Chain A
Amino acid sequence: MPPLAEWYDLRDLGNAVGAFLDWIRDQGAPDWVPYVVSGVIGILAILVWLLLSQLSFIWIERRVIGRMQSRIGPNRVGPRGLLQPIADTIKLFLKEAITNRHADRPLFWAAPILIFLPALTVFAVIPFGSGMSLADLNVGVLFVIAVSSVNTMAVFVAGWASNNKFALLGAMRTVAMLISYELIQVLALLGIAVFAGSMRIGAIVDWQSHFNTWLLFLQPLALVSFIIASSVEIGRSPMDISEAESEIVAGYHTEYSGIKFGFFYTAEYFAGFAISAITVALYLGGWTAWGLEEWVPGWLLFLAKLYLVFFLFVWTRGTLPRLRIDQLMAFAWKFLLPLALVNVLVTGAEVLIWREGDLSAGLALPIFGIVNAALAVALVIGWATFMGHLRPERRAKRAVLTQELGAIYYRRPAGPLGEA
C-alpha cells in the first residue's frame, strides 16, 4: 500500500505537516513562511522527542542497571521510581551553578552549549521515515563524523575553562581517546559508503530496502567497530574514563554543577541517541523492515530499533568494567585500526568484483555476507592471537592483595589462582 498522501496517513508524518503548510499558503502568506514553518516544526518535533526519550531512559537505564547488578534501582520517587527523572531534573535546576573565581568565564559558560551542539546537529541528517529527514545532505555520512569532531573541541574548552588541573588532565585524556576513535568511526562508515555508492543517508536506507538486506549482514566487522568507537566517542561505559569518579573526580566536567552539569548529562544521552540513530539508519535498515513499513509507520520501526540499540549501550554499561586509558588507546591503534583497514580493503574488492563481474545481487550479496562474517571472526581471533592478547600469561589473575589475603585466610601459599 503506497503512502496515501492524506493528512491522516501517519506512515509519513510529512503528510500532516504538508496539509498544515498548504493551509498556511492558502491563507495568503508569503513564500518563505511555509519553508520556515516546516523547519521549525521539524526542529521542535526532534527536540521534544529527544527530551521525552531522555527522561524515559534515565529511569530505564537506572532500573535496568540496578536489576543487572542485583539491586532494585530507584524506587522511592513515585510508583516504582517512575518520577525519578523529574526529580533529577528539578534537582539540577535548583542546584547552585557555581562558577569559580578564576575560571575563564566566557569559555566556562560556552562549554556546555558547545557540547550540546554536535549531539543535536546530527539529527538533522537522519531519516526518521520515508522523506522524514530535516536535511538529507549529499554528504550526510561525512557530516555526522565532522559534527562529532567538534565534540573534541568542546571537551577541551570545558576542561580548560575550569582552571582545574584535574579537569584539564581529564580533558586531555578524553581528547586523546576521542581523536583515536574518530578514525575508526570514519573507516567503519567508509565500507557503508562503498557498498551504497553514496554518502546520502536516505540513499543508503533506500539501498538496503532495494536489495532487501541490512548492511549489518554485509559488514559485521564494521558494525562492531562502529559501535565500539561510538561508545568511546560519547563517553559511555565501559569507556567512561572521562567521568570516572574513582579516577579523575569527574574529568572535564568536575567544576560544573547545577544546570550546566545538566547540559553535559543531557548531551551525553542525546549523543547516545544520535549514535543509535546513525547505527539504525546505516546498518540496520533505518525505517524499513522487509516490507513491514507498508503497514506500520516507518518512524515507529525506526524508533523501536533505535531504542533497542540504545538498550545495547545500557546493557554494556551495566555489565562491563571500565577500561584503563592505556588499554583503550592500545585497543584502538593496535587492534581496531588494522581490522577496520582490512575491512575497507575487502569491501572495496567485493564491490569491484560485483560491478566488474556483473553478478546479480541475489548471488553476490549472500556470498559477500558469508565471506565477510567468516573474515570478521577469523580476523578478530587471529589478530588477537597474533598480538598476544590470548596468551596464558595475559589472562587476568587475581590482584596481589587478594592473593595475599587469600593465602592468609585459606592457609595456602600465595600465587595466581592459589597455586604455588
Chain B
Amino acid sequence: MEDTGSIVAFWLLAALTVGAALGVAAVRDLIRAVVLLITSFLGVAGLYITLSADFVAVAQVLIYAGAISVLILFAIMLTPRASRDNAETFLQAPGLLLAGLVAFTIAFVSLEADWSVVEREGFEETASVIGEALLSKYVLPFEMASVLLLVSMLGAIVLVRPEGTPEEEE
C-alpha cells in the first residue's frame, strides 16, 4: 500500500495502539489502564480498516470496546479497592526479559521470512464471504462457538450466584 493516506493512517494507528498498550502496563491506576486498553482496542480496529477488513473491525469495536471492556470494569468494581493500583509481582524482571525475547523472536521471524506476498487491491466486501464461509466450510466451529458461548454464560451466572439464594418465584 503506497498511497500517502494509508501510510499516514498506519503509522498513526500503530503508534496509538502500541502506545496505549504500553500505557496499560505502566499506568498506576487500574481504571485508567482499562481506558487505555479500550483505546488500544480501537486502534487495532483502525488497523483492521487499513487492511480492508471492515466486518472484523466493526466486530472488534462492538465486542471488545463495547462489551468486554464493560465486563472488565464491572469486575474491577466488584473487587477490593486496595488492589487497584496496577502493581507488578516479584516476577517483573523475568517477565520483562521473557516478553522482550518473545517479541524480538516474533519480529525477527516476520522480518526475515519470505512470505509469499501477492499484490492485491484490498477486499471489496468481506461480510458476505465470511457469512458464507461460516455456514458452509466452518459450520462445525460455528455451532461449537454458540455452544461455547451458552456454556460460558451459564457457567458465569452459576459461579457468581450468592450462596443460599432462595428460589425466585415467578
Contact = CB atoms under 8 A, between A and B. Distances in A.
B127 A199 contact: yes
A147 B127 contact: no
Nearest to B69: A153
A152 interface: yes
Contacts of B59: 142, 146
Interface string B103-127: 0000000000000000000001111
B55 A156 contact: no
Interface of A: 32, 104, 106-107, 110, 137-139, 142-143, 145-147, 149-150, 152-153, 156-157, 160, 172, 175, 179, 182, 198-199
30 contacts: A32-B4, A104-B32, A107-B31, A107-B32, A107-B35, A110-B35, A138-B54, A138-B55, A138-B124, A138-B126, A138-B127, A142-B62, A142-B127, A146-B58, A146-B66, A147-B61, A149-B61, A149-B67, A150-B42, A150-B65, A152-B66, A152-B70, A153-B38, A153-B66, A156-B73, A160-B73, A175-B70, A175-B74, A179-B66, A179-B67
B65 A153 contact: yes
B9 interface: no
Contacts of A146: 58-59, 61-62, 66
B108 to A, nearest CB: 35
Contacts of B32: 104, 106-107
> 3 closest pairs, A vs B, by CB?
A149-B66, A146-B62, A146-B61
B7 interface: no
Contacts of A160: 31, 73
Given A104-B32, A106-B32, A156 B70 contact: yes
Contacts of A107: 31-32, 35
Interface residues of B, number: 27
B77 interface: yes
Contacts of B54: 137-139
A106 B35 CA distance: 11
B31 A139 contact: no
Nearest to A182: B66
B58 A139 contact: yes
Given A32-B4, A153-B35, A153-B70, 15 more contacts: A104-B29, A107-B32, A138-B55, A138-B124, A139-B54, A142-B55, A142-B59, A142-B127, A145-B62, A149-B67, A150-B42, A152-B66, A153-B66, A172-B77, A179-B67
Interface string B1-20: 00011000000000000000
A144 to B, nearest CB: 9
Contact of A104 (B31, B61, B70, B74): B31
Contacts of B58: 139, 142-143, 146
Given A137-B54, A199-B127, A150 B66 contact: yes
B35 A157 contact: yes
Contacts of A138: 54-55, 124-127
